[in-house]
Structure 1
């Protein structure tokens, strides 16, 4: 039967539309979060190929470790491996292997995380991005599909990205660990990147934010109370809150300034500052004050290839090898390590850059770290927490914060310039995302300045 065109029919139509919209919103809520990619999942076939291809690609670097000095050929290298149902192409493999090594990551553990028996997890967010997001089963690594332009942009700027990380080894920029392409017969090629997750480990994180430093479209409805849905909140959700770091605040302000200035050089915008926090346990609030922990954190922050066991290790900091930990403890027990940490003006602490501090280590038969310590402040380093994923973790007095800069592929093109002028007309007097790279850089730095203490 046809619906009447009169007022009553219009009311019924309106009610139907509202119910449909509400049903769609409820369905969207159900979709947000993490989902195991089991055999019935639409991405099971793709992620199975990813796991198989990544395992073989990493095995190549296990069998052929990257050289200590990277060449131009390493940056241009493309390796294709043929599997039963697909081909996997790996771009600049030695370069990314070198970065993984510099982060204290062994190829075996990287391979294990990427290809373990556990299923990948699909992460569905409220992002406008059309990319697909996957997490390894241990949630340590993100895999994200990218378009060809974004991959080309990353690879063309890979050398200066690596140079930035070498110059500022405590950078907050997301760590790209691999770029790959899957080629399946009669289907479109699929590019994807592997990244270190900023929010790792996430077992006690109670809030996550994606910050761009603006207002327009920067509010997300929080998840219902008691819900297990993971919602990444935005700038307006953060209103009235602060990242309370106390003495580590100057380091964060400076590092954000350094990293966003680098992104300005790349002429990019629309990147995000990820922020998450969790309360510190009582014992965690004081563990950074012990002498032994200060030594461990110093070693973690400046570790280089000076140890013959780890010759060739680049200067980007990673984990302290277990044998080094044992050696350090025995040295301290035997009184062979002498350190003095002098408070500098501005109240630096063991977590901030080592301005005004000296540390003299002279265990028998070892190379001192005096040169690295002298360069510490120049490279804007801080004492890293004795914690997994230390480059993205900053402990304040009461909370542990996870901080990183992601999504660095949006170039300020002619199309973006047109979008900027259109948004100026549509949102007069309001702060929106699409602005010039210098303005974007300054605005995000100002947001960090205004929301930290």
Structure 2
């Protein structure tokens, strides 16, 4: 009997072959299932249902504290160091620097009641499974407005230690592309609740299996996986996502920067990468110089923090016909330019609309006369060798340049080359830029990776492993320059 006949007749070789095929099919199916489950509801059968339910309860109480005790107009050092612990039935929730983040939320035009409602609405949280190598868990509020992401202690400590300069950067550049962190928390889960939850699972097995599982569970109680979790809240860059038809995570390099796209017509959310963007452009026309300048400013800030491996998120959707001709006054355009690039601009102004940057029409005359009178000046990125503002990065190191260095005539000449993201009736204005044909959602995320000794060793290893190729682990200066160059090369 031939080997093929033995395999078909169920001989040893055939059994081995079929067993291997079944295993590969099972693992392949599992991998495909996780790959396709990009975003789904966390129902009562989900492994994170208990955790997210406690998050919702704890966050509602934490925000209620800021509703009852609004943050002061001027933050103190104590506000940055403040830690508040609230005790619930089966867990404790700690809130770090609560007044600081409440102040930031206020500057973004959101009320605490709206924020609380979004975090604690009846709808379940959503889990987002990405192709990121991060071990963090990602959740979204049911309305998809806010992201919750688990972080390790080192990352939280890094954020809190740099929170003051982060806030100063956002105050200086209120239209910054940096992701807006809205809260930092730690949840401590009672061991008793964890064991009781697992007891309910034990009852579904037979007696001997129950004993084994119970023994293993008692042993695992020494290190409970969810006994303590740090997590942060962020404004979602891709909101509202109803019509977004493509999402990209850009690092400006090549190695491991491809993701298999979903079939046409698929409803699955997949975040693509650099190599998927090849041959495409972010088409902004007059808005391009502003984007180049703001990316340069923000990455320069991250360079000073000595971080790397952050990502530029880019999403886009086609504009409706009525969105292509926004009726914006001259004063509104100039104010948005000023708020984007003038040193010392503040995101909080008494009497201003809730959407930052929108200028009331009755203030238009005053603003224009102010600009004509020379009391303020604003700048967009200018090239050294010509009149094309888009060539601003040529020959320039990745360092922040002083703003406000051009004349009023330049302001009048270049008033169209500004940030027009702040659309009056839009819920997430801070990450939106409109081009002639598309609306772009842009933000810089994942800013916690410090260029440590470990990362330096990883850099040298990757140089040997990927000679001549661009990989993510490079010095903060190189990373900054490379991402700026990517934006320069992929916008028009």
Q: Which TM-score bucket, shorter chain as reference?
A: 0.7 to 0.9
Aligned to 1:58: 63
Contact 2:338 2:378 in 1 (8 A): no
Assess if the C-alpha contact under 8 Å between 2:178 and 2:443 holds in 1. Answer: yes
Aligned-partner Cα distance in 2 for 1:69–1:330 = 31
Pick aligned residue for 1:318 from 357, 377, 381:
357
Inter-CA distance 337–355: structure 2 relative to 1 (3 Å threshold): farther
- Structure 1, unmatched stretches of 5+, are none
With over 3 angstroms needed to count, the CA separation of the structure-2 counterparts of 1:61 and 1:20, relative to structure 1, is: same
- 1:118-146 Cα distance to aligned partner (Å, 9 max, x none): 11111111111111111111111000000
Q: How far 1:375 moved relative to its partner?
A: 15
Tell which deviates more after alignment, 330-339 or 80-89. Answer: 330-339
Change (3 A) 1:124 1:234: same
Moved more, 318-327 or 336-345: 336-345
**Two-structure CA RMSD over aligned residues (Å):** 6.9
TM-superposed CA distance for 1:387, in Å, is 2.5
CA distance in 2, matches of 1:360, 1:326: 36
Compared CA separation, residues 285 and 349, structure 1 to 2 (3 A):
farther
Equivalent pairs counted in the alignment come to 453
Aligned equivalent of 2:119: 114
Higher radius of gyration, 1 or 2: 2
Shift of 1:32: 2.8
Match of 1:390 in 2: 429
CA contact (8 A) 1:80 1:88 kept: yes
Instruction: Return the offset for 1:28.
Output: 3.5
Q: Partners in 2 of 1:315 and 1:66 — Cα distance?
A: 17
- Check whether the contact 1:147–1:191 (CA below 8 A) recurs between aligned residues: yes
> Kindly tell me: are residues 329 and 161 of structure 1, through their superposed partners in 2, closer, same or farther at Cα, counting changes over 3 Å?
closer
Q: Per-residue deviation at 1:289?
A: 5.0
Please give the per-residue CA displacement for 1:263-306, whole angstroms capped at 9, x wherever unaligned: 11111110000000000000000124566975996899799999
> Which sections of structure 2, spanning at least 5 residues, go unmatched?
1-5, 195-228
In the TM superposition, residue 114 of structure 1 has moved relative to its aligned partner by 0.7
The answer (yes or no) to whether the contact 2:129–2:138 under 8 Å persists in 1 is: yes
Instruction: Give yes or no for contact 2:172–2:346 (8 Å, CA) kept in 1.
Output: no
8 Å contact from structure 1 (residues 303, 318) kept in 2: no
Between stretches 353-362 and 4-13, larger displacement belongs to 353-362
Alignment partners' CA distance in 1, 2:377 and 2:164: 39
- Counterpart of 1:259 in 2: which secondary structure? helix
- The answer to whether 1:268 aligns with 2:304 is no
SS at 1:361 equivalent: coil
Distance 1:16 1:74 in 2: 60
**Alpha-carbon spacing, 1:382–1:304, altered in 2? closer, same or farther (3 Å):** farther
**Per-residue CA distance 1:402-424 (angstroms, 9 max, x = gap):** 00000000111111111111111
TM-score for the superposition, normalised by structure 2: 0.75
Aligned with 1:187: secondary structure?
A: helix
2: CA distance, partners of 1:307 / 1:395: 23
What is the TM-score when the length of structure 1 is the normalising length? 0.81
**Higher helix fraction (1 or 2):** 2
Change in 2 beyond 3 A, CA 1:335/1:378: closer
Q: 1:4 to 1:350 in 2, by over 3 A?
A: same
Deviates more, 1:240-249 or 1:300-309: 300-309
Residue 308 of structure 1: SS of its match in structure 2? coil
* Structure 1 residue 39, shift from structure 2 partner: 1.4
- CA distance in 2 between counterparts of 1:449 and 1:424 reads 25
Task: After TM superposition, give the deviation of residue 388 of structure 1 in Å.
Answer: 2.3
Maintained 8 Å contact 2:422/2:432: no
> Could you say which residue in structure 1 is the equivalent of 2:210?
none
Question: What residue in structure 1 maps to residue 383 of structure 2?
Answer: 344
* Cα distance change of structure 1 residues 289 and 340 upon mapping to structure 2, 3 Å threshold: farther
Contact 1:37 1:119 in 2 (8 A): yes
| In structure 2, C-alpha distance between the alignment counterparts of 1:343 and 1:175, rounded to whole Å | 28
Identify which range, 293-302 or 137-146, moves more after superposition: 293-302
Shift of 1:317: 3.2
Task: Report what 2:236 is aligned to.
Answer: 197
The match for 1:366 is 405
| Equivalent residue, structure 2, for 1:44 | 49
